[in-house]
Amino acid sequence: MSAPLRLGLAGLGTVGIGVVRIVQAQADLIATRSGRPVTITAVSARDRTKNRDADLSAYTWETDPVALATREDIDVFIEVMGGHDGPARHATEVAIASGKHVVTANKALLAHHGQVLAEAAERQGVALRFEAAVAGGIPVIKALTEGLAANRIKRVMGVMNGTCNYILTRMQSAGLPYETVFEEARQLGYLEADPNLDVGGIDAGHKLSILAAIAFGTRVSFDAVELEGIGNVSVDDIRLAEDMGYRIKLLGVAQMTGRGLEQRMTPCLVPADSPLGQLQGGTNMVVLEGDSVGQIVLRGPGAGMGPTASAVMADVIDIARGIRVPTFGIPASDLAQPKAATSATPAPYYLRMTLLDKPGALAKIATSLGDAGISIDQMRQLHRPGDRAEDAVVLIVTHKAAPADITHATASFATTGVLVGKPVAIRIEEV
């Protein structure tokens, strides 16, 4: 058997300790499957005195992750600290410059600096792997770079943030308002220190931009992702969608069009009986559509100690086996600079608004839609307990319409004199 593959582990939080446990518990299995032992040489974290419920006594301790990255007795630098700048970025850059392979779970780092890091790794002849950065335990990176390598990818779609999916499914099943479930998720520890990373769609947008780069052979372009979080989704919207046979999900969609690369991470209605509609709790799902294979659905835990550490170790084992794949599936120098395209693909839309309950109010709204070239598929007026007698809640489902036309129509509602508050417009994605 070959010489051991020696790991330096930067970050001893949930994922880092998960890696330690797998290396310790599965040493024989990993060695058999890799063709060589895999061992941890040294670790790094800020607080050495913290109780981490793991035996770290056999490992050398480095307080500075940059010092860890330059050690001569490690072959692979594992970065599970997080953050797209600061120590994580610096240590990763130093590791690559020092000729170390890098495995990271850091989607923000890749979304912001993936191109530069990939070019550096390929110049140095080392691997930069990141299966754990997208969708936790789901092997979606490997599926795109290896399993579907002979396919021209037509569309990437999915639910990529378990916290948002938990909040939306909890609102649906318990009939609770967003604010209540948000606080529940916070107390359960599901939210990032900055909750907007989750509920604002930023975390999921990072992941979508990485998948789009691999799928379409482009440089990562997170700044071009259309982002809308779930903060404006009400329990009323969830109930009304359910009545029509839909569920609301924070859905990422990326596709290459004649105008350029569309990337959006926004709330959408999906059919309740579809795989995405059936997705519950903190589970993730990614749907890949290739020209030869058709549609592939990957479902599994999107976060957590075991699943994420499992993905980290899958990359480590590939490195131990000598498998080398370009960071984003093709050489970084060949990745195209994408032309960003705002979403223009027509789709039906769900519209909810409150109108003054007076003659001609609905007609004015219908006229605004007609002037924008939008036809109505369904329309209903709702009467709910607690609504003011002088107001009427109206629900409209349109036929397929371009997003720009929907934006124009909803903006024109304000000029009708019958609108109370702001309208809600949610895309209906047929999946």
Please identify every residue annotated as catalytic: 207
- Expressed in angstroms, the distance from the first to the final Cα of the chain is 48
Comparing C-alpha atoms, which of 386, 363, 388, 366 is closest to residue 376?
A: 366
Rounded to 5°, angle at Cα 261 from 258 and 266: 125
Burial of 375 (0-12, 13-18, 19+ CB in 10 A): exposed
CA distance 348 to 182: 29
261-298 burial, b for 16+ CB within 10 Å, e for fewer?
bbbbbbbbbbbeebbbbebeebbbbbbbbbeeeeebeb
Alpha helix ranges (H) inside 59-200: 65-69, 87-97, 107-124, 140-142, 162-174, 178-187, 196-199
187 CB-contact burial (10 Å; exposed 0-12 / middle 13-18 / buried 19+): exposed
For 73, list phi and psi in degrees, rounded to 5: -100, 20
Please count the residues of the chain: 431
